[in-house]
A and B are shown apart, each in its own frame.
Chain A
Amino acid sequence: MRLNAKVPSGPIEQKWDRHRFDLKLVNPANKRKFNIIMVGTGLAGGSAAATLAELGYNVKAFCFQDSPRRAHSIAAQGGINAAKNYQNDGDSVFRLFYDTVKGGDYRSREANVHRLAQVSVNIIDQCAAQGVPFAREYGGTLDNRSFGGAQVSRTFYSRGQTGQQLLLGAYQALERQIAAGKVTMYPRTEMLDVVLVDGRARGIVTRDLVTGEISSHAADAVVLATGGYSNVFFLSTNAMNCNATAIWRAHRRGAHFANPCFTQIHPTCIPVSGDYQSKLTLMSESLRNDGRIWVPKEKGDKRPANQIPEAERDYYLERKYPSFGNLVPRDVASRNAKDVCDEGRGVGPTGLGVYLDFSEAIGRLGKKAISERYGNLFEMYEKITGEDPYEVPMRIYPALHYTMGGLWVDYNLMTSIDGLYAIGEANFSDHGANRLGASALMQGLADGYFVLPYTIGDYLSQHMGEKITTDHEAFVATEAAVKERTEKLLATNGTRTVDSFHRELGKLMWDHCGMARNEAGLKSALEKIPALEEEFWRDVKVVGSSDGVNQSLEKAGRVADFFELARLMCYDALERSESCGGHFREESQTPEGEALRKDDEFSYVSAWGYNQDGEPQLTKEDLEFEYVKLTQRSYK
């Protein structure tokens, strides 16, 4: 099997423009003859559905929340990047492109990333025109900040609620198209399978989460915009209901899954407080600008922070990385926190935490200045922990945050199934092995507003008038399979709750496929996961019926898919015996303990094919770097 990425020829800065010219168009009168299914209405799906409807297509859009306004994108805090160079500090499309490829540790496709940087500027224009209340200077122009270690100020933001404001912009554009009758919205509806006819995606099977009804929907193309899969780990910063079902079901039907082991761990989250913990809360990265990270020098030192004298504290990031100090990249900060905790020097009741201390900054700048910068974050921390960070240092620990991997897509964002597209966090496209801060919002909106609406037309124009209805046998068979699976989950009637399995799976993944991975650990995970999965299907207890609301049934279906995805992640992590970006293989490190890439062996995208009866099949898409020079990162 070969995968064709369909990257256009020509110089990189001309590829997208040329490609747009070469794409076939659907004439305006014909657009209304096409139906497109959009699964997911977060930033990526909401913006795409609205734009496709504006162009004249008929769109059916689906989300599992009660309103598209509640998609997980709403929770993004920090901001969105764009190469506007409004600050005149030397930013450019090429610099954003370069930073993103480098930040991704050279495991992304150059052409895609360049396009992303190009359209980033249009995103800001579009959102400002929608009335998104971005932060402004007194003169009325847009304000920027520097984010995630970037050397230019290119991040646009709305206080600490950028994701919310961008999503509401897309949501409002979507509601406008719903009112115009161009989009039919199906909230509280979950897609449970894709339907293929003659190898092409022609529809989906869904469950109405209120009535329980299973139904089919046919279309000319299907787009998945269903977000990331961090919740494989049970505990993550993602919303409770984020899941991988849509992309996993597509994978089972033939869509390749790319780089599943590329996951991002965020260093500044509030630590776990007990077994009942249901999710983790992110504290903005910006805190590391003024907070100093430390642990006691002695193992097992249980004294309260303020009783540990200065000389007995280890500011380990400042010690090990004198030039970057507390501002080292996310993966480096995370791994070091894990190391000191593994040594037994972690703080807090569980020993899985490090201090983020503001006392020095408060002494230097005053409490008022600190409260102006971080007041809302300090409040949030106090709400959750009951501790006042002005008085005692915050406790933080890394947590799962983002998944760079996802469905493999070509330059047109089409998966390896004809007519099936994936956009936003659901695809693997632009972030390589590590995503830079403020770049996920950019990618979701680039895909949704500016890329997919063009590229999908090229495909549709080649399939005029090929109508299909849900009476087709493929729909009937898929619906039957979905019903059978649902009934099976309900009929098992074992002794353990879905959450208990999910928690155990998450712990396994965190221990063996989390911040640091090694061959032995991954191999043992590949034995333990199938055993747990087998127990799940034998002993899970899902109460209630499939008619009407049944939240345990919803969870059960998602967790069943997480088991299969978890295995694939371990296969991928095992196969890639180099360290790169968020993927740290203990066998591949420099003498100083830093991640060591192996470009000669691993400059490729790992695209996995599903294999019902055995090990997944790997197809490699080789990566070539013509414009960016490969270097090893160093933060010493």
Chain B
Amino acid sequence: MDLTLKVWRQAGPDAEGRMQSYEAPGVSPEMSFLEMLDVVNERLEINGEEPIVFDHDCREGICGACSLMIDGVAHGPQAATTACQLHMRHFKDGDEVTIEPWRSAAFPVLKDLMVDRSAFDRIIQAGGYISINTGSAPDANEVLVPKVDADQAFEAAACIGCGACVAQCPNGAAQLFTSAKISHLGLVPQGQPERELRVISMVAQMEDEAFGSCTNHRECEAVCPKEISIDFIARMNRDYLKARTTSRSK
């Protein structure tokens, strides 16, 4: 099939960007979306033009590096699928496809389709961990974790930190990402001692970054490739209120 791509090109963080058209002839339905871009890029290079820059690594939907807005949807048209796992059989001959970076004040563009997501790391630094030094752990079976809790914690921990939730949110809010980590750690017994402190400081960090606030559009859940549930946001809000009303962590 032959496609036309409209791609965001931006030379650097401070440069002005613009959409540019590229022809992508002879695309095979078996290709992944990123392989289609590889082919376009090789052609650009042969012609002496700079290839389109985009983040990617595992190409298996797990590292969270790929981050493309495809026709206005974070990670593109297939539900529960990262851009790297999207295949060209979901497109048809003659389609025009727009490809843009994540657009969010908290994720500045570095070049073309590559953005800076270090704000997510700083949210984790604020308390997205359990404070346990190496060597001081008790035997793993000494702390029992009910299977339902372990399973639910896993559902939350499955977040890949891609940022699609923020990119799709009309407010650019990071509630889904932040609540996923708070819920993961809040659901297991090992995470209880720091539970209140954690929610207070992670939410504070989230608010310090350039993320917007959550007004329940639910767009995040719809595009999340790992189907992280917005129930975790409700859970985070409950934890937050509770933590604010107890005196210990004020």
Residues of A within 8 A of B (CB): 47, 50-51, 54, 65-72, 74-75, 84, 86, 122, 124-131, 133-142, 158-159, 161, 164-165, 168, 171-173, 175-176, 178-179, 185, 187, 210, 239-241, 273-274, 276-279, 281, 380, 383-386, 449-450, 453, 495, 497, 499-500, 541, 543-544, 548-549, 551-552
Please state if A130 and B129 are interface contacts (CB–CB under 8 Å): yes
Please state if A187 and B59 are interface contacts (CB–CB under 8 Å): no
CA distance A203 to B118 in the complex (A): 26
Chain A CB within 8 A of B117 CB: yes
Please state if A276 and B57 are interface contacts (CB–CB under 8 Å): no
Render B12-29 as a binary contact track against A, CB cut-off 8 A, 1 for contact.
Answer: 100000000000000011
Please state if B65 and A278 are interface contacts (CB–CB under 8 Å): no
CA distance A386 to B48 in the complex (A): 35
Tell me the chain B residues, 124-148 only, with Cβ under 8 Å from chain A.
124-126, 128-141, 143-147
Please state if B31 and A543 are interface contacts (CB–CB under 8 Å): no
Residue numbers in B under 8 Å from A551 (CB-CB): 51, 53
Please state if A66 and B65 are interface contacts (CB–CB under 8 Å): yes
With A67-B117, A142-B141, A549-B111 as given contacts, are A175 and B125 in contact (CB-CB < 8 Å)? Answer: yes
With A140-B147, A543-B48 as given contacts, are A130 and B190 in contact (CB-CB < 8 Å)? Answer: yes
Please state if B62 and A86 are interface contacts (CB–CB under 8 Å): no
- Tell me the smallest distance from the CB of A273 to a CB of chain B, in Å: 4
B120, closest chain A residue (CB):
A67
Residues of B within 8 A of A (CB): 11-12, 28-32, 34-36, 38-39, 42, 44-46, 48-51, 53, 55-65, 78, 81, 85, 87, 89, 110-111, 114, 116-118, 120-121, 124-126, 128-141, 143-147, 150-151, 153-154, 157-158, 160-161, 184-185, 188, 190-191
CA distance A101 to B42 in the complex (A): 45
Inter-chain CB contacts under 8 Å: number: 218
- Tell me the smallest distance from the CB of A215 to a CB of chain B, in Å: 18
Residue numbers in A under 8 Å from B11 (CB-CB): 548
CA distance A551 to B34 in the complex (A): 14
Please state if B131 and A176 are interface contacts (CB–CB under 8 Å): yes
Please state if A168 and B157 are interface contacts (CB–CB under 8 Å): yes
CA distance A277 to B32 in the complex (A): 9
Please state if A66 and B130 are interface contacts (CB–CB under 8 Å): no
A69, closest chain B residue (CB):
B161
Please state if A172 and B124 are interface contacts (CB–CB under 8 Å): yes
- Tell me the smallest distance from the CB of A533 to a CB of chain B, in Å: 20
Which of B38, B111, B136, B151 contacts A276 (CB under 8 A)? B38
Which of A70, A175, A385, A449 contacts B64 (CB under 8 A)? A70
Please state if A133 and B30 are interface contacts (CB–CB under 8 Å): no
A277, closest chain B residue (CB):
B35
CA distance A68 to B137 in the complex (A): 24
With A75-B63, A239-B59, A240-B57 as given contacts, are A131 and B185 in contact (CB-CB < 8 Å)? Answer: yes
Which of A86, A274, A383, A385 contacts B81 (CB under 8 A)? A383
Please state if B128 and A274 are interface contacts (CB–CB under 8 Å): no
Please state if A276 and B31 are interface contacts (CB–CB under 8 Å): yes
CA distance A200 to B67 in the complex (A): 41
Please state if A161 and B62 are interface contacts (CB–CB under 8 Å): yes
Please state if A128 and B143 are interface contacts (CB–CB under 8 Å): yes
Residue numbers in A under 8 Å from B117 (CB-CB): 66-67
Which of B42, B57, B118, B134 contacts A499 (CB under 8 A)? B42
Query: Which are the 7 A-B pairs with shortest beta-carbon distances?
Result: A140-B144, A129-B137, A172-B129, A128-B140, A179-B125, A133-B154, A125-B137
